[in-house]
Amino acid sequence: MSLTIYTKPGCFPCRKTIEKFQDAGLIPQIVDISSTPAALDYITGDPAEGGLGYSQAPVVVYERDGTEDHWSGLNPTKIRHVIALATASK
C-alpha cells in the first residue's frame, strides 16, 4: 500500500490528516505543494489530462493492490477506511 498526502504550510486539515494516519502507525509520503510545482499541477490539473482536479488541500492518494483512490480535505470517514484496509493486511 502506498499513501501520499499533498499538503501546504499552515494547513490545519493537512496537519490533522497526517496526524490521524501517523497515530494509526501509517507513515505517509508527504509532499509540500508550495515548494513542488509539479505536485501542485498534478493535484489541480484536469482529470482528462491525468490530473486530479482538486482545489483544496490536503489531497490524499492511496494505492492498494493496483487500485487507487483519492480525495481532498479532512475526511475522517475515508481516513478510517484506509486505516482499516492497511491494518487488515498486516
Residues of the chain with pLDDT under 70: 89-90
pTM here is 0.93
User: So what's the pLDDT on residue 24?
Assistant: 96
User: So what's the pLDDT on residue 45?
Assistant: 97
User: So what's the pLDDT on residue 88?
Assistant: 81
Fold of the domain spanning 2-88? Glutaredoxin (3.40.30)
User: So what's the pLDDT on residue 87?
Assistant: 85
pLDDT in tens, 54-78: 999 999 999 988 889 999 999 999 9
Place of cell 477506511: 81
